[in-house]
Every structure is written in C-alpha cells, then in structure tokens.
C-alpha cells in the first residue's frame, strides 16, 4: 500500500499540535510539582474523585475517565494512598479493593490546588483562544477521541488503555 504522507498543511498542523502539547504538559506538571510535589496526572485523579458521587470511583471507571491503563493508575493511586490523599476500598460486589475514595485530606488538597491549576490552564491555553477557537478545539478533539475509542464504526481499533488489563471489579 502506498504511504499516505502528510500534506504540507497537515505537517504544519501536526508539528504545532505536538510542540504546543509538550509545552502545555510541561507547564502544568511544573506548576503542580512546585505547588504540591505531584504531576498533573495525580492532580487529575484527585480532581475526578472530588467530583464523583461520595467522592469515590471504581478503579476501572477512573482509568477510563483519565484515559490511562489500569497498571499506570494502580501505581499512581498507590503513591497517593501513601500520602494519605486516597484510600483503596473493597468493591461492594467483590473483595478485591478496587474502589478509590478521596480522603478528607485529599479533598482539602484539591480545594487548595484547584485555583492555581485552573489559572495555569487559562494562562497557557484559553487566554490564547477566541471563543470560536474554544468551540473548534472541542469539536476537533471530541471527534478524535471518539474514533480512538472505537465509538465510530469507521474509526481506529478501539484498543483503549483502560481495557488492557482485566478489571477486577466490573
């Protein structure tokens, strides 16, 4: 099959997206590392739990929300548990402890970190965009995520990270 190389327009878009995304990740990680000694992904775990009913989520659902593998999540939650921010609990349906619950200290940490984190997201991304571009951003990446998750029949394989290890409680 002949390779469908990128057009010059696609190459420019790809490089702009890749470069800006690496810089954004770096800025978000640095702000949270300086503020709380944790990378952006750890903050995302706490933030997702803080918004969930009773501040707890099954590990499988949390991995899907975060778009990461179960093993990556298990490692991160282990670290957060050591710091007293998250507690592993047994799942009502079985005994393998696959629910993550935010502790009081974890909730206080999210409350303390949220303003600085949001300010960084705003300064690095949204302050650079017009309202129209915010809509374009949502539309572009909603479509990309759907294809990657196999929700679109014509899309990619649907081999999503969070299904790669058999979830013990689902």
Neighbour order of strands in the sheet with 56-58: 56-58, 99-102, 86-89
Nearer to its own copies, 40 or 103 (CB): 40
Least distance CB 49 / its own copies (angstroms): 16
Residue corresponding to tokens 């200290």 = 105
Nearer to its own copies, 22 or 84 (CB): 22
Half-sphere exposure of 50 toward its Cβ, with a 13 Å CA cutoff?
18
Least distance CB 69 / its own copies (angstroms): 8
Task: Give me the helices (H) in the chain, please.
Answer: 8-36, 40-51, 59-66, 70-82, 104-124, 131-148
User: Residue 90, Cα to own-chain centre: how many angstroms?
Assistant: 24
Least distance CB 148 / its own copies (angstroms): 4
Nearer to its own copies, 31 or 103 (CB): 31
Closest C-alpha to 85, from 113, 100, 105: 105
Nearer to its own copies, 103 or 117 (CB): 117
Residue corresponding to tokens 């659902």 = 61
Which positions lie near its own copies, rule CB under 8 A?
Answer: 3-6, 9-10, 12-14, 16-24, 26-27, 30, 44, 66-68, 114-115, 118-119, 121-129, 131, 133-145, 147-149, 155-156, 159-161
Least distance CB 124 / its own copies (angstroms): 6
Least distance CB 135 / its own copies (angstroms): 7
């Amino acid at each position: 099959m002949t390779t469908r190389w990128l057009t010059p327009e696609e190459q420019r878009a790809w490089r702009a997206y890749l470069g800006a995304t690496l810089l954004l990740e770096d800025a978000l990680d640095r702000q949270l590392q300086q503020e709380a000694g944790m990378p952006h992904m750890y903050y995302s775990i706490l933030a997702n739990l803080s918004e969930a009913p009773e501040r707890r989520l099954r590990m499988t659902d949390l991995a899907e929300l975060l778009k990461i593998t179960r093993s990556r999540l298990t490692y991160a939650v282990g670290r957060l548990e050591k710091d007293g921010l998250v507690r592993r609990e047994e799942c009502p349906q079985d005994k393998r402890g696959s629910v993550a619950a935010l502790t009081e200290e974890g909730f206080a940490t999210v409350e303390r970190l949220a303003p600085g984190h949001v300010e960084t997201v705003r300064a690095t991304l949204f302050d650079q965009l017009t309202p129209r571009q915010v809509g374009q951003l949502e539309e572009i990446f909603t479509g990309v995520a759907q294809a990657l998750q196999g929700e679109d029949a014509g899309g990619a394989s649907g081999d999503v990270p969070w299904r790669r290890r058999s979830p013990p409680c689902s």
